[in-house]
């Protein structure tokens, strides 16, 4: 291990920690009160020790017939009682305040991380492992909670406490009282000699911990696939390798910490011995009263108490700094989709500010009215990277209440159009408009109140059927819940379960079949009743009967709801009044299912229709349906 004894990078170590303080500005007064309480209880603890020794010395140096209620003894006794009571009181107050602060720090940081994830999703998450982000929200925040709630006060007290005690020592014994202060300063400076090394080690430990968390998280999420593919041994090897790498990093961290501790013990020992020798010599020479000798020793120890506490904190600064850096990386991650000025995700900005920013362009934002649902793609270009365009010059108008199927080969841009509709991304050129208002001029949160997307792999939360449905509409009545389930072709299944709506759903809907998860997600969408409903391959896990039932329900709900169906299955496409065909990021055909079969070779080829090269399409629906079911 390389020791960096001359180091000029303490700012690099403290930088992320200081930057994150701005996030915790709302807890500033609570932190101040906690710090003052900590300083008070440590000063009274030092006073308790000094007064105890002083009282004992005063009693032993007086004759046995002295009235202990008079003179110096009485003063010391009264002072000791006050110090003991005050010490107990401030110990309790500091403990209470520090715990309140700790929980508020955790709450604040985790909400900030959550708001950031919500703000940057999905674009900002594409290059991040879910487990590492979860690690930042949990383990990294826990490390920061310990620092901000329990050690910032110690740091302030490490300055105030020794100064007060040293002043007392100097008053009692003269300039030799500075010996203890010199030792305390030497003690707290030790970790800074290793600051550069500590910063590197902290980042390495946090990086490896994040890697291990990600592997464990992904393993738990994909356990079924791991077992099915016989990858258990390989996954165990990955976990073992990541664990060993983390252990090596932690051993290096512990080795440096051990060297620092050894040096600190040496400093304390040298300071204590020096104090003993110097003050004993002064007692022998008559320069110091013998009764003050034990008081000096107690105060010397009291000088070191806060210094030892801050030393322990400084030893972990590398780890805390790395945790702060990882959390700040998430919190300050740039958003690919920028909301209008005056609004911040997570509600940081006043509601009036967000409303003003949105209502300046959006007539529905000010009065909360429901959008009509008219959609326009105006010369829309988009690519996930500058060199790989996905959509090129899309021009499309969908009237309010219309149902349109968007079809095309894989990679043609269908799902991308759906993602643009809910403003997960903004076009690189052109605009997507809702009721004539560009979506980029609206707050993303408000867009998603009007436009709802149901994907092929919906996520369901652990709980009951009822609790998952109420997430979509907390005010829904029992009748509305059952109506939505019936429309999603799931009502009869739920009724057959003993618990009905209170049937327990495992995490991510693990206790449901793929089709049941899909239909429950559709029921959630029906409860939301958005102005625009985007169904992205939602029939993929449905059997033919359920698909037909869901299709009929969607048809009944067409009035007032614009529906965009992204699909491959012929039965879904054929049921849709209007079909838009994409190829290579462009619209190449637009019309009804029958019209496109008659006029578009690309459409016939996409469906695998046997008459793709023939003008005779009399057997279109039956043969196309059979082909689609085989696919």
Residues 332-380 have pLDDT tens digits of: 877 778 777 655 444 444 344 444 444 555 555 555 577 888 999 999 9
Please report which confidence band the pLDDT of residue 142 belongs to, taking 50, 70 and 90 as the band edges.
confident
Provide mean pLDDT across the span 467-471: 92
Task: Assess whether 434 and 288 both reside in one domain.
Answer: no
Residues 22-47 have pLDDT tens digits of: 766 777 788 778 878 877 877 787 77
Helix axes 317-331, 141-150, angle to 10 degrees: 120
Please report which confidence band the pLDDT of residue 126 belongs to, taking 50, 70 and 90 as the band edges.
low
Q: Is the pLDDT of residue 500 over 60?
A: yes
Task: Assess whether 205 and 272 both reside in one domain.
Answer: yes
| Choice among 218-227, 251-260, 530-539 with the minimum mean pLDDT | 218-227
Task: Assess whether 460 and 322 both reside in one domain.
Answer: no
Answer for the pair 257, 202: CB distance below 8 angstroms, yes or no: no
Provide mean pLDDT across the span 115-121: 78
| Choice among 492-496, 570-574, 612-616 with the minimum mean pLDDT | 612-616
The tokens describing 268, both together, are 């304390």
Give the end of a domain, one of 331, 359, 387: 331
Cα distances (angstroms) measured from residue 59 to each of 49, 68, 137, 168, 366: 16, 8, 58, 22, 79
The tokens describing 216, both together, are 């464990």
Q: Is the pLDDT of residue 92 over 80?
A: yes
Task: Assess whether 395 and 325 both reside in one domain.
Answer: no
609 domain residue, yes or no: yes
Q: What is residue 580's predicted lDDT score, i.e. its pLDDT?
A: 94
Please report which confidence band the pLDDT of residue 572 belongs to, taking 50, 70 and 90 as the band edges.
confident
Q: Residue 228 belongs to a domain with what CATH number?
A: 1.20.1560.10
337 domain residue, yes or no: no
Q: What is residue 150's predicted lDDT score, i.e. its pLDDT?
A: 66
Q: Residue 413 belongs to a domain with what CATH number?
A: 3.40.50.300
Q: What is residue 279's predicted lDDT score, i.e. its pLDDT?
A: 84
347 domain residue, yes or no: no
Q: Which residues pair with 383 in a beta bridge?
A: 389
Q: Across all residues in the chain, what is the average pLDDT? A: 78
Give the end of a domain, one of 331, 357, 385: 331
Task: Assess whether 546 and 419 both reside in one domain.
Answer: yes
**Count of structural domains within the chain:** 2
Task: Assess whether 464 and 546 both reside in one domain.
Answer: yes
Provide mean pLDDT across the span 417-444: 91
Task: Assess whether 309 and 422 both reside in one domain.
Answer: no
Provide mean pLDDT across the span 381-398: 90
Task: Assess whether 593 and 519 both reside in one domain.
Answer: yes
Provide mean pLDDT across the span 569-588: 88
The answer to whether the Cα torsion of 463, 466, 469, 473 is positive or negative is negative
Q: Is the pLDDT of residue 68 over 70?
A: no
Domain that holds residue 206: 10-17+26-331
Rounded Cα gap, residues 403 and 247, in angstroms = 57
Task: Assess whether 380 and 475 both reside in one domain.
Answer: yes
144 domain residue, yes or no: yes
Q: What is residue 61's predicted lDDT score, i.e. its pLDDT?
A: 61
348 domain residue, yes or no: no
Q: What is residue 557's predicted lDDT score, i.e. its pLDDT?
A: 64
Q: What is residue 59's predicted lDDT score, i.e. its pLDDT?
A: 66
Q: Which of 106, 100, 137 is nearest to 24 (CA)?
A: 106
364 domain residue, yes or no: no
Task: Assess whether 219 and 143 both reside in one domain.
Answer: yes
Q: What is residue 434's predicted lDDT score, i.e. its pLDDT?
A: 93
Longest dimension (CA), the chain: 128
Buried b (16+ CB within 10 A) or exposed e, 340-378: bebbebeeebeeeebbbbbbeebebbeeeeebbbbbbbe
Chain centroid offset of residue 552 CA? 41
Give the end of a domain, one of 296, 316, 331: 331
Residues 546-566 have pLDDT tens digits of: 777 777 767 766 567 899 999
185 domain residue, yes or no: yes
Task: Assess whether 404 and 499 both reside in one domain.
Answer: yes
Task: Assess whether 553 and 479 both reside in one domain.
Answer: yes
369 domain residue, yes or no: no
Residues 300-344 have pLDDT tens digits of: 887 887 788 778 777 777 888 888 888 888 888 777 787 776 554
Answer for the pair 296, 275: CB distance below 8 angstroms, yes or no: yes
Q: Which residues pair with 525 in a beta bridge?
A: none
């Amino acid at each position: 291990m390389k020791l960096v004894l001359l180091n000029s990078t303490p700012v690099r170590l403290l930088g992320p920690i200081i930057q994150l303080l701005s996030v915790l500005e709302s807890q500033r007064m609570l932190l101040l009160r906690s710090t003052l309480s900590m300083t008070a209880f440590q000063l009274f603890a030092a006073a308790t020790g000094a007064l105890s020794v002083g009282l004992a010395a005063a009693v032993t140096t007086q004759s046995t017939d002295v009235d202990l209620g008079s003179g110096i003894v009485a003063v010391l006794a009264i002072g000791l009682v006050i110090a003991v009571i005050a010490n107990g009181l401030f110990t309790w107050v500091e403990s209470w305040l520090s715990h309140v602060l700790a929980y508020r720090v955790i709450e604040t940081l985790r909400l900030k991380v959550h708001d950031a994830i919500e703000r940057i999703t999905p674009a900002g998450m594409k290059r991040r492992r879910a487990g590492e982000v979860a690690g930042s929200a949990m383990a990294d925040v826990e490390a920061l909670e310990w620092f901000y709630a329990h050690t910032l006060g110690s740091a302030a007290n490490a300055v105030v406490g020794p100064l007060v005690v040293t002043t007392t020592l100097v008053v009692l014994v003269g300039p030799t009282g500075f010996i203890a202060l010199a030792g305390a300063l030497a003690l707290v400076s030790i970790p800074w000699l290793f600051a550069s090394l500590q910063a590197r080690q902290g980042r390495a430990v946090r990086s490896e911990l994040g890697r291990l968390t990600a592997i464990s998280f992904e393993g738990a999420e994909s356990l079924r696939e791991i077992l099915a593919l016989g990858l258990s041994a390989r996954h165990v090897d990955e976990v073992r390798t990541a664990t060993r790498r983390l252990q090596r990093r932690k051993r290096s961290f512990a080795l440096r910490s051990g060297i620092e501790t050894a040096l600190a013990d040496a400093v304390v020992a040298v300071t204590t011995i020096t104090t003993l020798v110097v003050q004993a010599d002064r007692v022998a020479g008559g320069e110091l009263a013998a009764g003050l000798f034990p008081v000096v020793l107690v105060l010397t120890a009291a000088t070191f108490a806060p210094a030892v506490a801050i030393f322990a904190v400084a030893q972990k600064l590398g780890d805390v700094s790395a945790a702060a850096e990882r959390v700040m990386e998430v919190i300050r991650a740039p958003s690919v989709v920028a909301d209008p000025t005056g609004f911040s995700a997570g509600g940081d900005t006043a509601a009036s500010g967000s409303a003003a920013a949105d209502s300046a362009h959006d007539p529905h934002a000010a009065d909360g009215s429901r959008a009509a649902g008219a959609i326009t793609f105006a010369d829309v270009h988009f690519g996930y990277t500058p060199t790989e365009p996905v959509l090129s010059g899309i021009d499309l108008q969908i009237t309010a209440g219309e149902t349109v199927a968007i079809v095309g080969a894989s990679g043609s841009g269908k799902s991308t159009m759906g993602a643009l509709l809910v403003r997960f991304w903004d076009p690189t050129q052109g605009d997507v408009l809702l009721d004539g208002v560009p979506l980029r001029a609206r707050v993303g949160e408000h867009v998603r109140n009007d436009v709802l997307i149901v994907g092929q792999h919906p996520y369901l939360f652990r709980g009951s059927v009822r609790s998952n449905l109420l997430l979509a509409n907390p005010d829904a009545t029992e009748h509305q819940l059952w109506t939505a389930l019936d429309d999603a072709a799931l009502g009869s299944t739920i009724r057959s379960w003993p618990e009905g709506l209170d049937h327990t759903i495992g995490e991510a809907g693990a206790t449901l079949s793929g089709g049941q998860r899909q239909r429950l997600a559709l029921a959630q969408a029906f409860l939301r009743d958005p102005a625009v409903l985007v169904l992205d391959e939602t029939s993929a896990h449905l059997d033919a009967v359920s698909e037909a039932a869901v299709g009929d329900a969607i048809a009944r709900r067409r009035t007032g709801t614009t529906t965009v169906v992204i699909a491959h299955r012929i039965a879904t496409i054929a049921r849709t009044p209007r079909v838009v065909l994409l190829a290579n990021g462009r619209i190449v055909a637009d019309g009804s299912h029958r019209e496109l079969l008659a006029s578009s070779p690309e459409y016939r080829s996409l469906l695998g229709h046997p008459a793709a090269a023939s003008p005779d399409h009399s057997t279109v629906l039956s043969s196309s349906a059979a082909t689609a079911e085989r696919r």
